[in-house]
Structure 1
Amino acid sequence: MKLALSLLSSCILSASLLAAQPTRRPAPPAKPALAKFDPRQRPRNLSDEQLLDQVQRQTFRYFWDFGHPVSGMARERSNVAYDYGNEVVTTGGTGFGIMAIIVAAERGWITRAQAAARISKIVNFLWKADMYHGAFPHWLNGETGHTIRFGIKDDGADIVETSFLYEGLLCARQYFTKDTPDEQNVRNRTLWLWEGVEWNWFTQGQNVLYWHWSPNNGWSMNHQIHGWNECLITYVLAAGSPRYGIEKAVYDQGWATGPEYKNGKTYYNTVLPLGPNLGGPLFFTHYSFMGLDPHGLKDQYADYWQQNQAHTRINHNYCVANPKQQKGYGPNCWGLTASDSWQGYAAHSPSEDLGVISPTAALAAYPYAPAESLLAMKHFYNDLGDKIWGEYGFVDGFSEQHDWYAKSYLAIDQGPIVAMIENQRSGLLWKLFMSSPEAQRGLKKLGFTSPHLK
């Protein structure tokens, strides 16, 4: 099974040994906007709306209280582990964090001015940080802006992480429209940075995008981005570039190919249009679709609302059927996606079931299966909260089968919880991203239809 395309660059390359390491948190920035977390205080008997607020707001704290004090960017994870330390910030996770900050401003958890100031700090930092043909690396040093190597040869550009970053930044540019210094700076620097990404250079003159390039190792990783996985947003943004845009043939002959692109098989009474057997990890339905609104989004290959609903339904129904008889699985305890586990980081899915439930899977599925997602949220909070609820919301994963409960939080897992819940509640981030000229241009160029397209 060739899930390596999407999973290797989504933390699995060097993270397999992370989860078991001791936790050491650097001090958060001074004077956080939110009251200090008290583990003894977990409000009970919440209404559905109150619970959604509680989960979103607490999870947002990962990006606000725990954001890097110098750069403002999102730290990779809450625990220092393996061979990297306190200064590691994540490019894609920061894009997700920017979306969470926008949600927080809109809901009044912080002021609009505070949100604009934090994102202005981030774009100022990125302006001076290492980049390669306009693209950022997976990891940066949050103090110096220099590249931190993600893998042996992964020490340069990562266009997938870069696309997740711009998914958030473009939302911010659409949101911060006032003529204050910080809001102007967010708009201007985002535009200037965005226009410099040389997306078409990452094709090497071929009709496919390549994930990585290194100043030390060139194209030696040789990682072509084929579907189906979390990288649809990368092709859409690459097509939407005003100066370095890819042609539609790159999408058709690069992305929409490979043994795990088209599916069409039936699993648990549900037809899966695209993707690997049983759908793969559920983050395929989250990362690109925090900005891309799947409602009515179609092209010649799929209806993406149907695709994401089917993938979610299969993941849910697998956990309910529970063929491996994992302890705890059921209608109120489901969700398999990449996260920490009792034996290290793993790309959990029905095809790789280690008995680990990743809360982000069911919670970020709220748009696709609101009733099932809310049922899981209530169980996680009310019944398991003493073990899995903490300073930044729900921990990254847990296994009742192995009596294991993570102490860690990861940016790429916390971000989708805030963003996807908000998209179902208000459509905020979908409206922002889909209104951007970049999304409009990219989707039209690749032959998509959507109610958002003008």
Structure 2
Amino acid sequence: MILALPPTIDLPEDSSELSDDALLDIVQRHTIRYFWEGGHPVSGLARDRQKTAGDAPNDLVAIGGSGFGIMVIIVAVERGWVDRAEALRRLHRMLDVLEGSPRHHGMFPHFVNGSTGDTIPFRRKDDGADIVETTFLFQGLICAREYLDQIAGDEQRFRDRVNALLAQAEWDWFARKGKLYWHWSPRHGWAMNSPIEGWNECLLAFVLAAGSQHHAIDPDCYHDGFAGGPAFQNGRDHHGIVLPLGTDFGGPLFFAHYSFCGLDPRGLSDRYADYWEQNVGHARINHRHCVLNPHNHQGYGADCWGLTASHGPTGYIAHAPDRDVGVITPSAALSSFPYVPDQAMAALRGFLTKPRNRIWGRFGFVDAFCENRNWYARTYLAINQGPIVAMIENHRTGLLWKLFMGAPEVRLGLARLGFTRPGTNRQKDHPGADAAHASHSEREAAVLLAVS
């Protein structure tokens, strides 16, 4: 069981005198409880949502949310809040159900039953493979595999089980007509017709697909599909901030979070963008919009900002500056700590000035709130709670970035797609340097893959 939070570091009524580090400890520890104490009682996988009070009686668990939950558990172990052996037992329980879950060409559905692994349809035609949810699950599993590095025993067995799941993912089967497709159903086939294109949260899917040892996609699927899609390149000025990629004003902030819980954007670039510049710019635009508050929403300001997908008074919406109905989602600002740490800390302290019993509870900050309507969510969402812990940890120590970026399939995928990082930059004026570097990086990563 997760270690109880000692009363001496629990959240006091007046948190203004707490140091930044002490406050971040408390936020991470409370939010970890969503996945540890609130995990499904049989499998330990992450429930899609939890209430602020009472138990969730259903078996619905989220595949992508479970990936974030696995990353959260690694953070908890590293910080000494969860015993390593107990965490490993939890992870093996997760794999027990995942291995028995129906998969389609190696890909998981969006939702499964936490007891049996059976598919629970997300929508009528969305009852089969979801490669984006699978991507976020794999992101967590890869981090855990890299972290649990003992050369024998249950840690070796865990790594072997993870590698088997990764090897079964037929990324190339989902590549059609030069694009990578999001869904496939055993009953409805390709009826969802959702190519992954244009800038969004799915960059990581292409990295893992390109880095697959046996089922890699052609890099053109990334360049002509994802990067060739609508609203990919931008380059326009928004509130004095130039945004390299995406829709105007950046869209919901989870674009800068989900793939980048593992992918380290610092110095990461390709022919289209510098991804640190992209994500910092996106966060700054989101913050600036809330400070300017063009719609005069109650509560908005430098200490109350953050628009991303969440619950709201009228349902689940992908909130963004161009779709702003007055709903603030704490995860948007808190998961942006690596990008805009001062603005994120101001938001964290500002959130704690709101009605404490309505904005804060057993699993940390509630999913969202809307002061226009005096509405505070009575739920938490796995895909919002997980990035809070992961991205705060990346801000503090870079732990998950180090683990994920060291994985051989990640290094290979980035090399195949033409990404560069500090220390791997080529001489710009050397003929054939791009091709030579990519070839060397691919060989190096392929060797690591073969022996992993």
Give the match for residue 77 of structure 2.
105
Structure 1 unmatched ranges of 5 or more: 1-31
Compared with structure 1, are the counterparts of its residues 37 and 69 closer, same or farther at alpha carbon in structure 2 (3 Å cutoff)?
Answer: farther
Q: Deviations over 1:81-140 (max 9, x none)?
A: xxx961011000000000000000000011111111111211222111111100000000
Shift of 1:380: 1.2
Give the match for residue 309 of structure 1.
280
Q: Aligned to 1:328, which of 266, 287, 299? A: 299
C-alpha separation between the residues in 2 aligned to 1:163 and 1:49? 31
Compared with structure 1, are the counterparts of its residues 148 and 403 closer, same or farther at alpha carbon in structure 2 (3 Å cutoff)?
Answer: same
User: Is the CA contact 1:120–1:185 (under 8 Å) kept in the aligned structure 2?
Assistant: no
Q: Deviations over 1:6-40 (max 9, x none)?
A: xxxxxxxxxxxxxxxxxxxxxxxxxx4233899xx
Give the match for residue 4 of structure 2.
35
Is the aligned partner of 1:139 residue 2:134?
A: no
Q: Residue 74 of structure 2 aligns to a residue in which SS?
A: helix
C-alpha separation between the residues in 2 aligned to 1:318 and 1:51? 26
Question: RMSD in angstroms over aligned alpha carbons?
Answer: 1.6
Q: Output the TM-score relative to the length of structure 1.
A: 0.89
Q: Aligned to 1:429, which of 384, 400, 405? A: 400
C-alpha separation between the residues in 1 aligned to 2:192 and 2:226? 18
Give the match for residue 64 of structure 1.
36
Give the match for residue 369 of structure 1.
340
Q: Deviations over 1:352-374 (max 9, x none)?
A: 11101000000000000000000
Is the aligned partner of 1:198 residue 2:170?
A: yes
User: Is the CA contact 2:60–2:112 (under 8 Å) kept in the aligned structure 1?
Assistant: yes
**Percentage identity across paired residues of the two chains:** 55
User: Is the CA contact 2:197–2:230 (under 8 Å) kept in the aligned structure 1?
Assistant: no
Is the aligned partner of 1:273 residue 2:247?
A: no
C-alpha separation between the residues in 1 aligned to 2:395 and 2:5? 28
Is the aligned partner of 1:177 residue 2:149?
A: yes
Shift of 1:147: 0.3
Q: Aligned to 1:448, which of 383, 400, 419? A: 419
User: Is the CA contact 1:423–1:430 (under 8 Å) kept in the aligned structure 2?
Assistant: yes
C-alpha separation between the residues in 2 aligned to 1:33 and 1:359? 24
Give the match for residue 182 of structure 2.
211
Query: Which segment drifts farther, 194-203 or 107-116?
Result: 107-116
User: Is the CA contact 2:5–2:29 (under 8 Å) kept in the aligned structure 1?
Assistant: no
User: Is the CA contact 1:435–1:452 (under 8 Å) kept in the aligned structure 2?
Assistant: no
C-alpha separation between the residues in 2 aligned to 1:437 and 1:170? 10
User: Is the CA contact 1:335–1:359 (under 8 Å) kept in the aligned structure 2?
Assistant: yes
Segments of 4+ moved more than 4 angstroms: none
Q: Deviations over 1:251-300 (max 9, x none)?
A: 11111022210111101000011001111000000000000000000000
Q: Aligned to 2:99, which of 127, 133, 155? A: 127
C-alpha separation between the residues in 1 aligned to 2:127 and 2:144? 28
User: Is the CA contact 2:97–2:115 (under 8 Å) kept in the aligned structure 1?
Assistant: no
Q: Residue 112 of structure 2 aligns to a residue in which SS?
A: strand
Query: Which segment drifts farther, 42-51 or 301-310?
Result: 42-51
User: Is the CA contact 2:254–2:332 (under 8 Å) kept in the aligned structure 1?
Assistant: yes
Is the aligned partner of 1:258 residue 2:224?
A: no
User: Which has more radius of gyration?
Assistant: 2
* Number of matched pairs: 417
Give the match for residue 162 of structure 1.
134
Q: Residue 264 of structure 1 aligns to a residue in which SS?
A: strand
C-alpha separation between the residues in 2 aligned to 1:121 and 1:183? 13
Query: Which segment drifts farther, 344-353 or 121-130?
Result: 121-130
Q: Aligned to 1:413, which of 368, 372, 384? A: 384
C-alpha separation between the residues in 1 aligned to 2:366 and 2:106? 34
Shift of 1:238: 0.3
User: Is the CA contact 2:251–2:320 (under 8 Å) kept in the aligned structure 1?
Assistant: yes
Compared with structure 1, are the counterparts of its residues 37 and 401 closer, same or farther at alpha carbon in structure 2 (3 Å cutoff)?
Answer: farther
Query: Which segment drifts farther, 124-133 or 323-332?
Result: 124-133
Shift of 1:442: 0.2
Structure 2 unmatched ranges of 5 or more: 425-440, 442-452
Q: Aligned to 1:288, which of 246, 252, 259? A: 259
Q: Deviations over 1:301-349 (max 9, x none)?
A: 1000000011100000000000000000000000000000011111100
Q: Output the TM-score relative to the length of structure 2.
A: 0.90
C-alpha separation between the residues in 1 aligned to 2:174 and 2:269? 26
Q: Deviations over 1:216-255 (max 9, x none)?
A: 0001111000020000000000001000000111111111
Compared with structure 1, are the counterparts of its residues 452 and 415 closer, same or farther at alpha carbon in structure 2 (3 Å cutoff)?
Answer: farther
Query: Which segment drifts farther, 283-292 or 109-118?
Result: 109-118
C-alpha separation between the residues in 2 aligned to 1:42 and 1:429? 26
Give the match for residue 188 of structure 1.
160
2:277 maps to a residue whose letter is Q
Shift of 1:415: 0.3
Shift of 1:434: 0.2
